[in-house]
Amino acid sequence: MSAPFVVPKRVVNVNKTVDVSFSQPRSLTWAYQPLSEADSEALAVADEPDEPDEFLFHSDGFRKKKLVDVIRESLMAHSARPPHQIWLPPLEVSEPMDALVASWRRKPWYVDYGQNPGLVFPVGVVDIPEDHAQRVYTIDAEMDNIMVVATAQRGKSTTLMSLITSAALMYRPERVTFFCIGASLYPVEELPHVASVVSQTDNEGVSRTVASIEGLILAREAAFKQYQIDISEFRERRFGTEREGGTDPADKFGDVFLVVDNFSDLYDKDSPMGDRLVTIARQGLSYGVHIATTATAWLVGQKQALVNVSNARIQLRLSNPDETQMGEGLERRKAARNTLDRPGFGVTREGHELLVGVPEITSATGERVTTRQLGAVIADVTGVGRLEKLARLPECIELAQVIAAFAETDVASDPFNVPFAIGESALQPTYLPTRAVPNMLVLGRQLCGKTTTLAAFGQAVMSRFTPEQAQITIIDPKTSLIGKIRGPHVRAYAYTADDIDAVIEELTAMMRDRLPPSGLSQEELLSRSTWDGPHHFLLVDDEQELRPHGAIGKAAASAPLWGLIERSREIGLHVIASRLPGNWAGISVTNPFLQKMTSSRAPTLFMDNDPATVKVFGRVGAQQLPPGRGLLVTTDGAIEGVLVGTPE
């Protein structure tokens, strides 16, 4: 290989075999026997001298090229692919998302932006030793929910952000949108594809987010029925090549993901909310709504229902690798044990090593673009904007606005529907249907807005009824309502103990007259005409200040009402009362007034309360809320966050 390379010589007709044939036998003698003419010519050519050797020289014109030089140059000039690399370098450094997307698409993310089929998110690199290959690992989420499981500080939140970033590089905002719950996800908040990010401590934000997703599912359920389509046809009409047929024009979204970082914490804090998330995960896939969650271990118990409907899984390092759910058998458990104990490293269902990418991209200058800067870069390069931003309840709203908005709704035709707040689920007026639900209780700490709620309700009643149709009686032992509800609608106002007794006794006497007398037959009861006169709204502020049950010498101040509250629908009585929570667990079952209110199926508006001592329903605690905010809870357990309108 080190000898000089000799240029191959020209091939000539040499060393030709001389074929001497004799037609007749002849004697072998010393005498000369001449050859034929053809053989003579061949011998003459073979006897010619050899051509001199010719060499190739390097660029200096002096050094001869060696055989190895010529072979190397020939191989380099050949267009054949390099030899297969058997041993690839180990996975060490996480790739940025744009590199993974480009490897999967075979072109940069910004070329033909958003034109990718399905709903596939490149998320990392998987090492496949038996194939001598390292390939892009993708999550196909078109008909699935996503779950990321890892022990603490091993990249769960980063993996979620990588998934969101990958989706933002692969698809346009109208194709995929994210609603996020978890403070660790704030870095992706500026992406055009992210409608909102709220922390788990933001109770109103969490409730509003979940309510928005539930509302979308209900709207699509109705729209799919109207247009006679399923989710596959919905996607085809919105994003396919043949966009024939319609979809709901009010529905701006494509596929929607509700992302929850650390589902276990949210479930332990608020199990009914966790159950709502599981319901979304179970029902949402049929309507293009997905859940993406993280957990520190594979969930068990009631929470396992989420695992059962989350088959697009990423498992990073576990605290107990033997609990792996990425495949079965000893080999899979061994693969889980061998997962590197570093952030981002995981294992696939096939037992291969996975390294999740980071939610960053590389700029044209080679610099890394961080997660918080991605939104501006994507918007600048592609021209896309945010499709939707989560609407939140305002800090305050005028009661007049609530009443005006309610007047535009279908239910406003019934005057017994009394609006007093706006609800967070649809940001629409919330009303008390006093024809079916005549009573309501307001519970909260000092300065939470209880008195304001009573004032708002009283003013709303005056806007819905004439004085001849409705009369208002005000019991105000601390004079907090003074001057807030005035006019011909007000029948009586009492603040001293004696006046309160007199006013309540007078009101209850009128209400008793509306009850049927004793001794009537069934036929007489059926033919008996209903009572005449206005409906009576009794507003009781600070009920805990009234004379309590069991006081020496006198019955409780509210005692005359006890027998009427449960029959209030029959007699046109509506009791709206507020009070401090006190020892709510005990008072709620020992106070006869509260017991009667509960028996009448009166909803309770839980305003600012101590979550540890006040339970709104079952194990669900109340919340610490700003003034005017509350949770309206029915006896059936339905919960709606509301903001009470500010009265004049």
- Binding site as annotated, residues for ATP: 150-157, 444-451
Q: Is 449 left (phi over 0), alpha (psi -120 to 50) or beta?
A: left
Rg from Cα positions in the chain: 42
Helix locations, 338-437, DSSP H? 371-382, 399-407
| DSSP assignment string, 319-346 | SSGGG--SS-SHHHHHHHHTS-SSTTEE
DSSP string, 74-93: HHHHS-SPPPP-SSPPPP-S
Q: List Cβ neighbours of 515 (8 Å cut-off, separation of 6 or more).
A: 567, 570, 571
Residue 512 tokens read as: 């008793």
User: 22 exposed, middle or buried (CB, 10 Å; 0-12, 13-18, 19+)?
Assistant: exposed
* Phi/psi of residue 300, nearest 5 degrees: -130, 175
Q: What type of residue sits at position 244?
A: E
Do residues 134 and 188 make contact, with C-beta atoms less than 8 angstroms apart? no
Residue 573 has φ and ψ, to the nearest 5°, of: -105, 135
Q: What angle do CA 495, 498, 502 make, to 5 degrees?
A: 95
Structure tokens at 137: 């690992």
Report the binding-site residues: 150-157, 444-451
Cβ 169 vs Cβ 101: under 8 Å: yes
Contacts (Cβ under 8 Å, ≥6 apart) of 422: 393, 397, 402, 405, 428, 429, 430, 642, 643, 645
